[in-house]
Amino acid sequence: MHLPGRKQLFCLLWTIILLSHWVHGQHCIWYGECGNSTKIPEKKLNCNYTGPPIPLPDQEGQDLLKDLCPGLVYGDNRVCCDTQQLKTLKNNIQIPLQFLGRCPACFFNFMTLFCELTCSPRQSDFINSTDFSAFNKSTTNVYSVTYYISLTFANDVPIGGMTPMNNETFNCTQSLDDGSGPCSCQDCSAACGPTPVVPPVPPPWTILGLDAMTTLGERFENCLRVLFSSWGSMCVRHPLTVILTSVVLVSICSAGLTYMRITTSPVELWSSPSSRARQEKDYFDQHFGPFFRTEQLIITTPVNASFIFSPTSGGPDIHFSSILNITLLHQVLDLQTEITNLTAEYKGETVTLKDICLSPLAPYNDNCTILSVLNYYQNSHEILDREIADEFLVYFDYHTHFMYCVSSPTALDDTSPMHEACMGTFGGPVFPWLALGGYEGTAYNNATALVITFPVNNYLNDTEKLGKALAWEKVFIDFVKNYDNPNLTISFSAERSIEDEIDRESNSDVTTIVISYVIMFVYISLALGHINSFRTVDSKISLGIAGILIVLSSVACSLGIFSYIGIPLTLIVIEVIPFLVLAVGVDNIFIIVQTYQRDERMPEEELHQQIGRILGEVAPSMFLSSFSETVAFFLGALSSMPAVRTFSLFAGLAVFIDFLLQISCFVSLLGLDIKRQEANRPDILCCVKLSEGQQGKSEGCLFRFFKKIYAPFILKDWVRPLVVMEIGLDQKLSMPDDSYMLDYFGNLSEYLHTGAPVYFVVEDGHDYKTIEGQNAVCGGVGCNNNSLVQQIYTISNVPSSWLDDYFDWVKPQSSCCRYYNYTGAFCNASVVDKTCVHCRHMTTTGKQRPNGTEFMHFLPWFLSDIPNIKCGKGGHAAYSTAVDLIENNTDVGATYFMSYHSILKTSSDFIDALKMARELTDNITQAIGPQNKTYSVFPYSVFYVFYEQYLTIIYDTAFNLGVSLVAIFVVSTVLLGFELWSAVLVSFTIAMILVNMFGVMWLWDISLNAVSLVNLVMCCGISVEFCSHIVRAFSVSTKSSRVDRAEEALAHMGSSVFSGITLTKFGGILILALSKSQIFQIFYFRMYLSIVLLGAAHGLIFLPVLLSYAGKPQYFTLFELFNYILKN
Q: Which of 922, 941, 960 is the last residue of a domain?
A: 941
Backbone torsions φ then ψ of 889, nearest 5 degrees? 60, 25
Average of pLDDT values for 145-153?
A: 77
Number of domains in the chain: 5
Q: Do 868 and 899 have their domain in common? A: no
Q: Which of 467, 495, 523 is the last residue of a domain?
A: 495
Q: Do 478 and 510 have their domain in common? A: no
Model pLDDT, residue 1067: 66
Rounding to the nearest 10 degrees, give the CA dihedral for residues 559, 565, 566, 571. Answer: -20
* CB within 8 Å of 434: residues ≥ 6 apart: 371, 451, 453, 754
Q: CA separation (Å) from 715 to 116, 709, 1111?
A: 101, 10, 13
Model pLDDT, residue 534: 43
Sign of CA dihedral 88, 817, 97, 844: positive
Q: Is residue 119 part of a domain?
A: yes
* Element of type H or E holding 143: strand 140-147
pLDDT per position as a tens digit, 160-213: 556 787 778 888 888 877 777 788 777 777 777 666 666 665 554 443 333 333
Q: For the residues of 704-747, what is the DSSP string, one character each?
A: HHIIIIIHHHHTSTTTTTT----BS--GGGGSBTT-HHHHHHHH
Average of pLDDT values for 782-808?
A: 83
CATH of the domain at 914: 3.30.70
* CB within 8 Å of 182: residues ≥ 6 apart: 104, 105, 172, 173, 174, 175, 188, 191, 781
Residue 873: pLDDT over 70 = yes
Please answer whether residues 423 and 866 qualify as being in contact, where contact means their C-beta atoms are separated by less than 8 angstroms.
no
pLDDT per position as a tens digit, 534-577: 455 566 778 888 888 888 899 899 999 999 988 888 766 777 77
- Read off the pLDDT band of 332 (50, 70, 90): very high
Distinct helix (H) and strand (E) counts, the chain:
43, 24
Model pLDDT, residue 214: 35
Residue 119: pLDDT over 60 = yes
CA distance 1109 to 560: 47
1078 alpha-carbon distance from chain centroid: 20
Residue 687: pLDDT over 70 = no
Q: Highest mean pLDDT: which of 570-584, 606-620, 1112-1126?
A: 606-620
Model pLDDT, residue 242: 92
Closest CA to 105 of 194, 193, 148, 168: 168
* CB within 8 Å of 41: residues ≥ 6 apart: none
Q: Is residue 579 part of a domain?
A: yes
Model pLDDT, residue 213: 34
Please answer whether residues 562 and 639 qualify as being in contact, where contact means their C-beta atoms are separated by less than 8 angstroms.
no
Q: Is residue 643 part of a domain?
A: yes
Q: Is residue 745 part of a domain?
A: no
Side-chain-facing half-sphere of 234: CA atoms under 13 Å: 10
305 compared with 254, residue with greater pLDDT:
254
* CB within 8 Å of 1047: residues ≥ 6 apart: 711, 712, 715, 1039, 1104, 1108
Q: For the residues of 282-351, what is the DSSP string, one character each?
A: HHHHHHH-PPPEEEEEEEE-S----EEE-SSSSSPPEEE-GGG-HHHHHHHHHHHHHHHT-EEEETTEEE
* CB within 8 Å of 466: residues ≥ 6 apart: 458, 459
Average of pLDDT values for 640-644?
A: 74
The neighbouring-strand residues paired with 319 are: 308
Burial status of residue 387 (CB atoms within 10 A of its CB: 0-12, 13-18, 19 or more)? exposed
Q: CB neighbours (10 Å) of residue 205?
A: 5
Closest CA to 748 of 369, 473, 492, 371: 492
Average of pLDDT values for 1090-1104?
A: 85
Q: Across all residues in the chain, what is the average pLDDT?
A: 80
pLDDT per position as a tens digit, 947-992: 887 787 888 888 888 888 888 888 888 777 777 888 888 889 989 8
19 compared with 1050, residue with greater pLDDT:
1050
Side-chain-facing half-sphere of 855: CA atoms under 13 Å: 20
Q: Do 961 and 933 have their domain in common? A: no
Q: Is residue 671 part of a domain?
A: yes
- Read off the pLDDT band of 488 (50, 70, 90): very high
Q: Is residue 589 part of a domain?
A: yes
- Its domain, for residue 528, covers 218-266+505-686+700-726+952-1127
Q: Do 247 and 338 have their domain in common? A: no
- Read off the pLDDT band of 700 (50, 70, 90): low
Q: Do 868 and 980 have their domain in common? A: no
CA distance 766 to 895: 9
Q: Do 1068 and 959 have their domain in common? A: yes
Q: Do 351 and 230 have their domain in common? A: no
Q: At what angle do helices 571-597 and 1010-1036 cross, to 10 degrees?
A: 20
* CB within 8 Å of 662: residues ≥ 6 apart: 547, 550, 585, 588, 589, 592, 622
Model pLDDT, residue 205: 42
Q: Is residue 947 part of a domain?
A: no
306 compared with 354, residue with greater pLDDT:
354
Side-chain-facing half-sphere of 1109: CA atoms under 13 Å: 12
Please answer whether residues 326 and 400 qualify as being in contact, where contact means their C-beta atoms are separated by less than 8 angstroms.
no
Average of pLDDT values for 249-266?
A: 85
CA distance 478 to 491: 13
CA angle 765, 770, 775 (to 5 degrees): 90
Model pLDDT, residue 950: 79
Q: CA separation (Å) from 494 to 477, 895, 902?
A: 7, 28, 22
CA distance 143 to 129: 8
CA distance 28 to 119: 9
Model pLDDT, residue 209: 38
Model pLDDT, residue 238: 92
pLDDT per position as a tens digit, 793-803: 766 667 888 99
Q: Which of 471, 495, 519 is the last residue of a domain?
A: 495
Q: Do 825 and 789 have their domain in common? A: no
Average of pLDDT values for 665-681?
A: 85
| Residue % of the chain over a pLDDT of 70 | 81
Q: Do 921 and 1033 have their domain in common? A: no
CA distance 404 to 422: 8
Q: At what angle do helices 510-527 and 541-565 cross, to 10 degrees?
A: 130
Q: Do 259 and 298 have their domain in common? A: no
Q: CA separation (Å) from 725 to 504, 581, 998, 1001, 1011?
A: 30, 29, 8, 7, 15
Residue 239: pLDDT over 80 = yes
CA angle 474, 478, 479 (to 5 degrees): 115
Q: Is residue 5 part of a domain?
A: no
CA distance 250 to 654: 12
Model pLDDT, residue 718: 40
348 compared with 698, residue with greater pLDDT:
348
Closest CA to 336 of 229, 252, 451: 451
- Read off the pLDDT band of 1076 (50, 70, 90): low
Least confident window among 165-174, 360-369, 716-725, 992-1001: 716-725
Sign of CA dihedral 166, 167, 173, 174: positive
Residue 993: pLDDT over 60 = yes
Residue 846: pLDDT over 60 = no
Tell me whether strands 140-147 and 44-48 are parallel, antiparallel or unpaired.
antiparallel
Model pLDDT, residue 1121: 46
Please answer whether residues 1021 and 635 qualify as being in contact, where contact means their C-beta atoms are separated by less than 8 angstroms.
no
Residue 607: pLDDT over 80 = yes
| Residue % of the chain over a pLDDT of 90 | 15
Q: Do 136 and 73 have their domain in common? A: yes
3-state secondary structure 428-458: CCCCHHHHEECCCCCCHHHCCEEEEEEEECC
Q: Do 406 and 537 have their domain in common? A: no
DSSP state of 3: H
49-54, Cβ contacts within 8 angstroms, sequence gap of 24 or more = 49/80, 50/124, 51/27, 52/23, 52/26, 52/27, 52/28, 52/78, 52/121, 53/26, 53/28, 53/78, 53/79, 53/80, 53/121, 54/28, 54/78, 54/79, 54/80, 54/82
